[in-house]
Each structure stands twice: as C-alpha cells, then as structure tokens.
Amino acid sequence: MQARRLQRFAGQLLFATRTPLFRSLVLVVLLGGAVPVLKADPISVTYTATQISGSEWQYDYQLTGSFVSGDDLAVYFPLATSLNLVDLGTGGTDWTTFVFQPDPDLPADGEYDMVANIDNPSLAPSFDVQFQYSGTGSPGPQEFTLYDPNFNILDNGVTVPPTSPSPVPEPASLLLLGFGLLSLSVYAKRRRASA
C-alpha cells in the first residue's frame, strides 16, 4: 500500500505545476522518458459540495466517459485544507472505492479513489466522500487523475460543478508553435513573391 502511495505522490508531483516545461522535465525524470498514454475519450467529473455541520463537508461526484476494468480515478484532497476523509461506500458493485488520508510526512494530498471492477461500469451511481475542511469559504474544484492498472496516466483534469460548462481543452503548445511557424513561412513566401 505504501509503494502505491509513493507512485501516486510521483503522479501528484508531475501535475503540481501548470508550467509545461517543468511537467515535461519531471515526466522525463520520473518515467525514464516514457510518455503518458492519454485516453481518446476524456472523462469528466462533476461535484456537489454540501456542508454537513461546522467544518464537516461532503462531496458527491458524477462521472462521464468510458472506463475499463482496473481504471483508477483518483480525486485529490489538498493536504493544507483536508482531514479525515471517509469513504461512504457508494458507487455500486461495478466499482471499488477507498481513501488515502492526507499525509504530511510524505507530504501528499489525500485521495478518494474509484476503481472500475468491470469494463464499461455503470456511471449512474453517485460517489460520495465526507471530510473535514479547514479552508475559507466552501470547498471547490479538485484535481483528478485517471490511471490504468499499471499506474500509467490516462487522463487528468479538474472537477467541475454540475452547472458549469465542460472545460475546453487547450491546444498543445507544439501544435500552436507549428501553426505559427507555418504562418510565418507562408507570409515570407508571399512577401518575396510580391517583391
């Protein structure tokens, strides 16, 4: 279980920053040059946050997308604001759910994991977890990562409230660079032809 936790910590480190260059460097170091295999059909996770009493809150998640047996969706609870995660045992028989508590010794965020027991599991049930929240206001979006059974990263993103539109994926930086270079090339050819 501790080895699994350390693998997850490596995954969290990879996505701890929004800087693509740093992510690439960490990816090369952690995975020895291997590139994560991203799912062709991205998943989404919507959430509803409900205050139970005082600092006790509950997240209810709904999933979309496709999953195969062994896929593990990990939703992260920030170490700085989350304590005492409790898996409410929801999700139905197609899923196994469990929590990892936030661990200041690693340091590592807490996790709520949903593992598919079969291919194309039912997405009808809600997945629920309670926790203590020490932040200000109400808890909001969380980062998530989808792993295959070998802990390869298939997808990642941020949970969204049900009324929010689905996030639009940003184009890859290299694709933008390629289009920019192509545009400059076409502009230079036209300029030379008109001179």
Instruction: Note the Cα 124 to chain centre separation in Å.
Output: 20
Structure tokens at 16: 């701890």
The predicted pLDDT at position 10 comes to 54
User: 56 φ, ψ to 5°?
Assistant: -90, 125
- Residue 93, beta-bridge partner list: none
- pLDDT of the chain, 195 residues: tens digit per residue: 445 555 555 555 544 444 444 444 444 444 444 444 555 578 999 999 999 999 999 999 999 999 999 999 999 999 999 999 999 999 999 999 999 999 999 999 999 999 999 999 999 999 999 999 999 999 999 999 999 999 999 999 999 999 745 555 555 666 666 667 677 777 777 778 877
The predicted pLDDT at position 188 comes to 74
Residue pLDDT, tens place only, 3-31: 555 555 555 554 444 444 444 444 444 44
d(CA 74, CA 5): 11
Angle (CA) 174-143-147 rounded to 5° is: 75
d(CA 105, CA 35): 29
Contact status, residue 87 vs residue 74, Cβ threshold 8 Å: no
Amino acid in position 163: T
- Within the chain, strands assigned E span 44-53, 56-64, 72-77, 82-87, 95-100, 110-116, 127-133, 143-147, 153-158
* C-alpha pair distances (Å), 76 with each of 80, 129, 184: 12, 12, 42
* C-alpha pair distances (Å), 63 with each of 21, 29, 47, 151, 186: 30, 32, 9, 20, 44
Residue pLDDT, tens place only, 24-51: 444 444 444 444 455 557 899 999 999 9
d(CA 104, CA 82): 11
Cβ neighbours, 10 Å, residue 133: 20
Domain boundaries, the chain: 37-182
CATH assignment, 37-182: 2.60.40.1170
